[in-house]
Chain A
Amino acid sequence: MKALAVLTGDGHEIRSRASDMVPLLSSLAESLSDLELCMIYTGSVPDRFPEWPMALSRVHRIQLPDAGVPDPLLDFISDMAETCPKNLYLFDGTDIGDCLAARLGYRLAGSSCLQVQTCRMTDEKNLTSWRLACGGHLLARTVLEKFPWCLSAAATPGTALGWTGDSGCPVTDHPAAAMPVQSWVISSVSVPVETDSPLTGADRILVLGNGVGSRENLARMNPVAEALGAQIGATRPVVMNGWLPMARLIGVSGTMVAPSLCIVAGASGTGAFCAGIRQAECIVAINTDPDAPVFETADVGIVDDLVPVLLALETLIRKKESS
């Protein structure tokens, strides 16, 4: 089977997104006879390559004229598919990766499945993939019957992937000038944003859910997190209320984390959120509702109001520190 892997993530994203693809590539390794890689960039040319579990036969470095405008890339890859067809196109699970996997699957009259967690060849003609559905509560199994298969990889925490300056294979450069002009884009500018990633790699995380109740309560949790040496994470409603920036969101649509300690306070524990903390070593849940589903995902549970419990915890830690 011939495959093309496409990394669309930009500078910060590319490393974790390339790691996310490892489990899928590994489970297909036996069937892969040839793997090429496309690395998409807008700024400087990428000069390091992922050390994936199998050798690459060629790397294409493709420059996009406008970041976030995937259309020319789609044309480029479908042109490539015509001259050098593959059985499998594997994209990273960024928004752009998803967009390309869906569109390419349709354009090439193949089949698509996005945000795939695991996959396996069921026979020569069928690929079976598993991903989350129904608010993250259920696993959906999709059998892809039509070639080519277009997949995108779901985020998986924790796989550290090496990068090397030696691609180990020929590299072809495709500068932006070769891309068709997108006349519908009148202008496109980048606006600077905060670039540190507070959650990735954090050893301890204090996740605050809707149960925190207010911006004021949330502010009271900063010293708690500090005493714990933890980063603060959030569930979707907390981000929706504008209490915390979206870089703090944990779950299927935010960051997947793998800390050694994760204290989840005031979150009901829905599947879409819990998928994001599943790899934590120890999960402590604090919730006023003894029947909250979050206790199903936790190692340790406390039924109580999160505010007094966490403030008491802070006092205890500070006392220990000073003694």
Chain B
Amino acid sequence: MKLAVCFKTIHDYAMVPPEDWQMTGRYTADPGPVRQVFNCYEESALEMALALGNSPLSSGPASKNAVLTDSGDAAGPPLRVERTALTVDDNRADLFLRHLIAVGYDRAVRVAPDRDLDFSPRTVAATLATWITGSDPPDLMIFGPRGGAGEHCQTGPLVAEMLGWPCLMSVAALAFDDSRRLRVTCRKDRSCRIHVVEPPLVLVTGIATETNRLRIPTLKQKLDARNRSVQVLSLADLDLSRFDSGDKASSTDLVGVPKSHRTCTMIHGDSPQEKAQVLADTYLKPEQVP
């Protein structure tokens, strides 16, 4: 089984002081010298793919369960999962791609864009779809639910549509069943379904994933990874003409900060108890206390 996880690192927006967003009156998705981070949802997706690769059925000696299928047939050699991490991004992503190689990704691929694609979801989707239909197509494409600076919430479904593949949303966990078929758990706020499916397909992770933080490579893994390189392609290497990458359908710009109509009154005091007292006396009126 071949799978690819698509990710896009983002600025650590949480580190940008609020006044910086307001300051210039010109709003930009690039707030300057702020570190890049994995988007938390893609981190779950990247770890989910690793966990599948490491399940007893898919690596090492076949587990007891793997020996028999539903119909009692011998299951054959263990399933190998080949994992690719894929991003359309500039070279700031290379550090992250190397991290992914170190923790177990077989391939790390970066398509270098010729312009800023933060607000061109169809171009990004067409780029990913074109890569997928290349010489060694994966069976599974895994996406986060909202990503990049643009947070369009549509790249995964768009790629599915371009490829004519089915698409499952809110994916929380992946596993192989006893018959070596892919079992996808989809979880939402108040529902959970398990689908046994036949690839190829697109999976979009949800917020309730069973895997969360991406593992950290050991020193040995880091050293081993030094000899393996990130594959960098340029947009010109790919023929996007198969898909309608025209983002002319819409145009997006950043126009402001969501308004806060509040001014904060600070409670001062010499101790936590004093502050709690002021809070209780002034803001939790007796009739408000149950």
A residues whose Cβ falls under 8 Å from a Cβ of B: 10, 12-13, 66-71, 94-96, 98-103, 105-107, 109-115, 130-146, 152, 182-195, 197, 228-229, 236, 239-242, 245-247, 249, 252-255, 260-261, 268, 270-271, 274-275, 278, 282-285, 291, 293, 295-305, 308-313, 315-317, 320-321
Question: Which stretch (B76-84, B106-114, B190-198, B222-230) binds chain A?
Answer: B190-198
Q: Does B188 contact A (CB under 8 A)?
A: yes
A-B contact count (CB 8 A): 295
- Beta-carbon contact of B197 and A185 below 8 Å: yes
Task: List chain B positions with a Cβ less than 8 A from chain A.
Answer: 10-11, 13-14, 16-18, 21, 27, 29, 40-41, 44, 119, 122, 145-146, 149-154, 156-158, 160-162, 166-170, 181, 185-199, 201, 204, 206-208, 212-213, 244, 248-258, 260, 262-267, 272-273, 275-277, 279-280, 283-284, 286, 288-290
Q: Are B151 and A132 in contact (CB under 8 A)?
A: yes
Closest to A183 in B: B198
The listed residue with most A CB atoms (<10 A of its CB), out of B150, B157, B208, B260, is B157
Q: Is the interface of B mostly helix, strand, loop or mixed?
A: mixed
Choose among B195, B196, B253 the residue with the greatest number of A CB atoms under 10 Å from its CB. B195
Q: Which of A69, A139, A270 contacts B254 (CB 8 A)?
A: A139
Measured between beta carbons, the chain B residues less than 8 angstroms from A308 are 272-273
Say how far A72's CB is from chain B's closest CB, in angstroms: 10
Minimum CB–CB distance for A269 against chain B, Å: 8
The 8 Å CB contact of B276, one of A112, A137, A316, is A316
Instruction: Give the distance in Å from the alpha carbon of A246 to the alpha carbon of B172 in the complex.
Output: 12
Report chain B residues within 8 Å CB of A271: 13, 258
Given A112-B154, A132-B258, A190-B191 contact (CB < 8 Å): yes
A95-B206, A138-B256, A229-B290 are known contacts. Are A114 and B152 too (CB-CB below 8 A)?
yes
B262, closest chain A residue (CB)? A299
* Bound: A28/B121 CA distance, A: 25
Q: What is the distance, in angstroms, from B130's C-beta to the closest C-beta of chain A? A: 15
Give 10 nearest A-B pairs by CB, closest first: A229-B290, A102-B154, A135-B13, A111-B249, A312-B276, A308-B272, A95-B169, A246-B208, A102-B157, A103-B161
Partner of A99, one of B157, B277, B289: B157
Residues A246 and B189 in contact in the complex (CB < 8 Å), given A183-B198, A184-B197, A186-B198 = yes
A240 touches B280 (CB 8 A): no
Q: Which residues of B contact A13 (CB under 8 A)?
A: 188-190
